[in-house]
Structure 1
Amino acid sequence: MVLPRWLARVNRVATNRVLGRLPVFATVRHVGRRSGRRYQTPIAVFRADRGYVAALTYGPGADWVRNVLAAGGCELRVRGEWVPLVRPMVVHDPERRAVPPVVRLFLAVPGAVDFLHLDLAQPER
């Protein structure tokens, strides 16, 4: 089970602007795979060895995920800066190993077991 699609629509209209400013959230900037339009979506994201891992609370079929996969990357606004990310890969992980232990508990509630792994386009200095 993942969060229902109707909740995604409510979040898009009502809560996304606030979520993008909370510590565990960042904003992903992606391009529509059909429209070519630029979108910004707040996501729950965590630092990983080579880049970042995003919890797919609406599942791997969410539009933003499909856009990032089709484009082969995206940009992520982290601490006020846009960071280019490449090589997106959906990973099914029922144990939620890519996120901190306390977050695993929260992600168990909606049943989130899929994650988007993204590599930094260039190594950090």
Structure 2
Amino acid sequence: MSAVQRRLARFNRTFANRVVGPVLTRMPGFGAIIHRGRKSGRAYRTPVKVFKRGPHYVMSLPYGPQSDWVRNTIAAGGCELHTRGRHIRLHQPHVFTDPQQTVVPAPLRPLLRRFKAFDFIELRPVETPATEPVRP
């Protein structure tokens, strides 16, 4: 990550995410990842760009796979996604590089290409067990 990207990431983490995050996460295609710090155990909320890929969720990593939220998610084996009023528990994180950005809708590829966002993380929703009917 370049010095400019690091400064932008720091600015977003300390200011922009707090101001724009609550509004942005209600918009289509966006969400917030709720994750816990690897050392502190503190809960964090990070706005992300979300794409569906079959039943899985994919997020672009414009600051790379070494971002704190990505490392926290991998260490914990999952996280929670809040998107459009829904809360989805996710697990089995898989980080990958896709230079052709095939997981991204075609209209968004030029924008992500401009930011050199070729890294992604894919997570699977946790299956909630079906509840058994109560027997009298």
* Residue in 1 that maps onto 2:100: 95
What's the C-alpha RMSD, in Å, of the aligned pairs? Answer: 1.9
Corresponding residue to 2:84 among 75, 79, 84: 79
- Unaligned segments of structure 1, at least 5 residues: none
* Residue in 2 that maps onto 1:35: 40
Counterpart check, 1:108 vs 2:113: yes
| C-alpha contact 2:27 2:84 (8 A) present in aligned 1 | no
Give the CA deviation at 1:95.
0.5
The structure that has the greater radius of gyration is: 2
Aligned partners of 2:90, 2:6: CA distance in 1, in Å?
A: 26
Corresponding residue to 1:22 among 27, 38, 47: 27
Higher relative contact order (CA 8 A, sep 6+): 1
TM-score (norm 1): 0.91
Which runs of 4 or more aligned residues in structure 1 lie more than 4 Å from their structure 2 counterparts after TM superposition?
A: none
